Amino acid sequence: MDALALEAKGAKTDSPAAGPAPVKRPKPPKKAKRIVYFEVEILDARTKEKLLLLDKVEPTATILEIKSMFHKSNQHWYPARQSLCLDPKAKSLKDEDILQQLPVGTTATFYFRDLGAQITWAKVFLAECAGPLFIYLMFYFRLPFIYAPKYDFTTSKHWVVHLACICHSFHYVKRILENMFVHRLSPGTMPLRNIFKNCSYYWLFAAWMAYYINHPLYTTPYYGQQQVKAALIIFLFCQLGNFSIHVALRNLRQPGSKVKKIPYPTKNPFTWIFMVVSCPHYTYECGSWVGFTLMTQCVPVAFFTLIGFIRMTVWAKGKHRNYVKEFRDYPTLRSAILPFIL
C-alpha cells in the first residue's frame, strides 16, 4: 500500500496539470543614496578676509581633513598650527568633529586663527629632561667659568657628590627612556614659544642644585654615611615604584583606544598603592626627591622638592576629581596623592 501511494504521489507531481515551477524574479537594485556635498568657506578670524573656498566636501569629512585641504593651498599653515571655529570668539573645533554633525548648513563658514609654530609633546618632554641632565653634568665636571679657575676640570673629594650625580642622571635618563618607550603621548602639539617657559623651571633648578652640590666648599650630610645610605634606599625604591606605575597605566589602554578605565593594583607590589591613592606616580616622584634631598642635604634641592610637591598635588587633585566624575563606582578610599591625607 505504501508503494502504491508513493507512485500515485509521484505521478501527480509529474503530471502536466501541475504546471512549471515558479521562477524567482531578481530583486531590483537599490538606488544609491544621493550624497549632499558641502561647501566650506574659511575666513580669517581677525580680518574676516576669505582665505579659501572648498567645493564638494563630503559630509563625513572631519575637521582634521578640512585642515589638511587648507594646508594644501597654504603650505605655511600646517594642520597643527590651525584653529578652526564657527565664530571668531568661539572655542576651537576638535580634529575629530564631523562636518555633517556640526550646526551648519550645506554652506559652512569656519573662522581661522593661526596658533603659531608648534612642537610635539614628545619633543617638549625630551627638552625638559635632556636639559637638566646636561646642565648638571657641566657643574659636576666643573667646566671653566663656573667656579674659580683652580677648580676647573677637578673632581670632588666627597663620594656623596659622585653618588648624587649618578642618581640625578639616572632619574632623567629614566624619564627620557619612558617618554620614548613607555608613555603613549598625545599626538597634540604645544606652541613653540611656550617651551622656554616649560623648560626654564627644570633647567634653572638643575643649575641651582648642581652649583651647590658640586661646589668645592660643599659639606657632607650631618649624619654621614647612614643618612646617605637611607636616602639612597628611599630614592631607588621610589624610582622603581614610579616606573611600575607608568607601566601599569600604559597597560590600562590598548594602543589607539580612547576608552578610560579605573587603574587598579596589579601583581606588582609597587602598584598596590593604587588601593589608597589615585595618582601614585606623583607620590613616588615626590618620594624620590625627598630621598635626594636627604642624600645631599642641600637647600636648593629641598626647595625644588617643595615646589614640585605643590605642583604635583594640584595635578593629582585635578585627576582625582576627573576620576570621581567619570566613574560612579570609583573607590571612595582613595586620596589624590598622599594616602588618607591629601
**20 located within any domain:** no
Where does the pLDDT of residue 7 fall: very low under 50, low under 70, confident under 90, or very high at 90 and above? very low
- Residue at 311 is within a domain: yes
Left if phi > 0, otherwise alpha if psi is -120 to 50, otherwise beta: which for 288?
Answer: alpha
Count of domains for the chain: 3
The pLDDT score that the predictor gives to residue 15 is 46
> What mean pLDDT, rounded, does the chain reach?
89
- Across the beta sheet with 107-114, the strand order is 50-57, 38-44, 107-114, 82-85
- pLDDT at residue 321 above 90? yes
Q: Which of 116, 134, 153 is a domain's end point?
A: 116
User: Rounded to an integer, what distance in angstroms lies between the CA atom of residue 197 and that of residue 193?
Assistant: 8
Q: Which residues are CB-neighbours of 277 under 8 A, at least 6 positions away?
A: 283, 334, 335, 336, 337, 338, 339
Residue 14 reports pLDDT greater than 90: no
- CATH code for the domain in which residue 84 is found: 3.10.20.90
Q: Is 245's pLDDT higher than 70?
A: yes
What is the enclosing helix (H) or strand (E) of 235? helix 224-250
Q: How far apart are CA 292 and CA 303, in angstroms?
A: 12
**256 pLDDT exceeds 90?**
no
CB neighbourhood size of 7 (10 A): 10
Residues 226 and 334 in one domain: yes
For residue 199 the three cell numbers come to: 623648560
176 in the same domain as 276: no
Predicted confidence (pLDDT) per residue in 191-228, tens digit: 888 888 889 999 999 999 999 999 999 999 999 999 99
- Does some domain include residue 67? yes
Domain boundary among 77, 93, 116: 116
Asked whether residue 235 falls in the same domain as residue 283, the answer is yes
Domain span holding position 186:
118-218
Same domain, 185 and 122: yes
Q: How confident is the model at residue 33 (pLDDT cuts 50, 70, 90)?
A: low
Q: Is the pLDDT of residue 76 over 90?
A: no
Asked if residue 6 belongs to a domain, the reply is: no
Q: What is the mean pLDDT of residues 274-298?
A: 97
Task: Assign 329 to helix, strand or coil.
Answer: coil
Considering the domain architecture, whether residues 150 and 110 belong to the same structural domain is answered as no
pLDDT score of 30:
62
On whether the pTM is more than 0.85, the answer is no
Please enumerate in sequence order all residues whose Cβ is within 8 A of that of 48, keeping only pairs 6 or more positions apart, or say none: 88
Query: Which residue has better confidence, 18 or 80?
Result: 80
Q: Is 16 a member of any domain? A: no
Summarize the confidence of residues 135-159 as an average pLDDT: 95
Q: Mention every residue, 6+ apart, whose C-beta is less than 8 A from residue 166.
A: none
Of 152, 183, 218, the residue at which a domain comes to its end is: 218
If asked whether residues 229 and 315 sit together in one domain, one would say: yes
Q: Considering the domain boundaries, does residue 9 fall inside one?
A: no
324 and 248 housed in the same domain:
yes
